Structure 1
Amino acid sequence: MPLVNTKEMFKHAYEGKYAIGAFNVNNMEIIQGIVAAAQKEKSALILQVSAGARKYASPIYLRKLVEAAIEETDLPIALHLDHGDSFEICKQCIDDGFSSVMIDGSALPFEENIALAKKVAEYAHERNVTVEAELGKLAGIEDDVNVSAEDAKFTDPDQAVEFVERSGVDSLAIAIGTSHGAYKFAGEPRLDFARLEKISALLPNYPLVLHGASSVIPKYLEMCNQYGAAIPGAKGVPEDMLREAAKWGVCKINVDTDLRMAMTAAIRKVLVEQPAEFDPRKYLGPGRDAIEEIVQNKIKNVFGCSGSALK
């Protein structure tokens, strides 16, 4: 099976009131762990590449690793550009064989954001590639995304309708209270479900996206703190909130921080407990296993997309 775009994935997800997991990838072990979990759960899958990952691993290496995953599993997999910040980077990824791209013009004025998203959508749709855009600003820091709490802005439901109609994008990332990176809240994490319900009602049958939706798994947070990768004040989105969001048109949920924490915790544990170890396979292997555990739980118990590969 070749790479697929997200159109059919999201259609089935919307109708079934579940979400497809979109997992950020940087190297072979992360891809292998994610794909192994998806294969066990027979789940459709979005593997997404940030600007930072493209610089680190090079686009062709990542694409070939994803192609290997498809050949090995025959799962429906979309290769997605995460947070493309220009027409040029989206075009390059489309020309390089990505099946889905995100154009992130959320820092631009409303009219400029629409114009940029429309330009990318027109180029992508001619090549059977789906496009995600973003309206509103999530706080937090992750890779090349850096938005202060003061600059964060929730998505306006009425603007969302106008944006979708005028830009022609296939899905929309909205800001309802999630945050990039490990949460650092004064209080408890909270999602604005009233806003989500209104956006979903105004955009029926239209796929919405949540970024910054890692849950900060206690097991791996404790391991990070225990083995020297302390993340003080880290908080994530409770998993029950993510399950609820999928009932209101959220068809794609992004996960990156949870993967980083799990892999880092597993690797540090090996190197702290076995300081003389110098075989990368002996510490990258446990990192890969931790990724698989995290992703399988997300697919099965949080996003509800087990079996979606069969649809």
Structure 2
Amino acid sequence: MLVNLKYVLDLAEKGNFAIPAFNVYNMETVMGIIKAAEETKAPVIIQNYSRLVTNEEGYYLAPIVLAAAEKASVPVCFHLDHGASEEAVVRSLRFGATGIMIDKSLLPFEENVAATKSVVELCKAVGVEVEGEIGHVGTAANGDEQTTEYTTVEEAKTFVENTGVVALAIAVGTAHGRYKKAPRIAIDRIAEIHDAVDASLVLHGGSGIPDEEIKASIKAGIRKINFGTDICFSFLDKVFETSRDVYAIDLFMKDAIENVKEFAIKKIKLLGAENRI
């Protein structure tokens, strides 16, 4: 069933687990995620990256996500990931998104607050909640996971109180992409921010974080964890392995769908989201 962002985040907060948020890129990745969620009886977030929304792919992909979510026997939120502009936000709302992330984290703090608050007000008009971001969640290829510029408790509290976001992505040592070496997550900082703010905390850059770090971050208060890069690899690795003798595309894709499903099941179980419905 299609639900809003706050619905799944409230489930996670009440149950002390994290919602897996999977970025999807085509029908097959959507199918793999939905199959995993239904098999494990887990609530999930299916995300479209901002680029897909503002390019033509989102026009075709959004109806697939919506159809899958509405048919699913588990709660599914359809979310914009790293919305880069108001255009991406408006397009996502028109495409049927039930959650929005606006990422203005590269702006000075005050400008980030103002831009995020504007999007929160826009989305409020249609009953959609918003995720924001403060601090630098960079790119693993650049070694950004080694940053010590973590989000402070004061910044997080001020941001949430002045924007009205229901979810907040924080900088605590993670980065996007595959890590050159395992990141050091600031678990104590997560716990401090969780105790101080009235918003669900989000960990970006979930691909490649050691399992024990994931578990510790959830125990400290993380309620949503994003997986994008490893979804791509779980799909592409199987595509590259599949024989070219299988030329009917629907048959060719079956193993890739299964590989995405198996990857998603592992993450659902790791985050404690299994059997929550």
Q: Given the alignment, which residue of 276, 294, 300 partners 2:263?
A: 294
How far has the Cα of 1:147 moved from its partner? Answer: 7.0
TM (norm. structure 2) is: 0.93
User: Please, which runs of 5 or more residues in structure 1 have no aligned partner?
Assistant: 215-235
Report deviation, 1:49.
0.1
Q: Which segments of 5 or more consecutive residues in structure 2 lack a partner in the other structure?
A: none
Summarize the alignment of residues 219-238 of structure 1 with structure 2, pairs less than 5 Å apart.
236-238=208-210
Residue 118 of structure 1 deviates from its aligned partner by 0.2
The residue aligned with 2:271 is 303
**Alignment partner, residue 260 of structure 1:** 232
Kindly state the Cα deviation for residue 43 of structure 1 after the two structures are TM-superposed.
1.1
- Cα gap change, 1:182 to 1:246, in 2 (>3 Å): same
**1:167 correspondence with 2:163:** yes
2:171 equivalent to 1:199: no
In 2, the alpha carbon distance for the partners of 1:38 and 1:150 equals 29
For residue 202 of structure 1, report the CA deviation from its aligned partner: 1.4
Preserved contact between residue 178 and residue 210 of structure 1 (Cα < 8 Å)? yes
State the shift of 1:134 in Å: 0.4
Q: Give me the whole-angstrom Cα distance separating, in 2, the residues matched to 1:263 and 1:256.
A: 11
Q: 2:250 aligns with which of 267, 273, 281?
A: 281
In 1, are the aligned partners of 2:143 and 2:180 still within 8 Å (CA)?
no
Q: Deviations over 1:253-292 (max 9, x none)?
A: 000111111111111112xxx3544333343211111100
- Residues 50-95 of structure 1: CA deviation (Å, up to 9, x unaligned): 0233356632322211222134323211110001112232122123
Give the aligned CA root-mean-square deviation in angstroms: 2.0
What is the TM-score normalised by the length of structure 1?
Answer: 0.83
2:220 matches 1:190: no
**Pairing 1:8–2:3 present:** no
Distance in 1 between the 2:110 and 2:143 partners?
A: 23
Contact 2:145 2:179 in 1 (8 A): no
- Counterparts in 2 of 1:36-115, with a 5 A limit? 36-54=35-53, 58-115=57-114
Distance, in Å, in 1 between the alignment partners of 2:145 and 2:186 is 18
Residue identity matched to 1:256? G
1:145-192 per-residue CA deviation (whole Å, 9 max, x = no partner) reads x9773995421221110010011111100111111001113xx42101
The answer to whether residue 109 in structure 2 is matched with residue 127 in structure 1 is: no
The count of aligned residue pairs is 276
Inter-CA distance 57–264: structure 2 relative to 1 (3 Å threshold): farther
Percent identity over paired residues: 36
Distance 1:36 1:56 in 2: 27
* 1:209-251 deviation per Cα after TM superposition (whole angstroms, max 9, x unaligned): 011011xxxxxxxxxxxxxxxxxxxxx2101211221122211
Q: Name the residue aligned to 1:248.
A: 220
Q: Counterparts of 1:122 and 1:151 in 2: how far apart (Å)?
A: 35
Q: Distance in 1 between matches of 2:268 and 2:231?
A: 13
Taking a change above 3 Å as real, the CA distance of residues 118 and 60 of structure 1, as seen in their structure-2 partners, is same
Question: SS in structure 1 opposite 2:3?
Answer: coil
CA deviations on 1:73-132 (whole Å, 9 max, x unpaired) are 232111100011122321221233211110000000000000000000011112110100
* SS of the residue 2:169 aligns to: strand
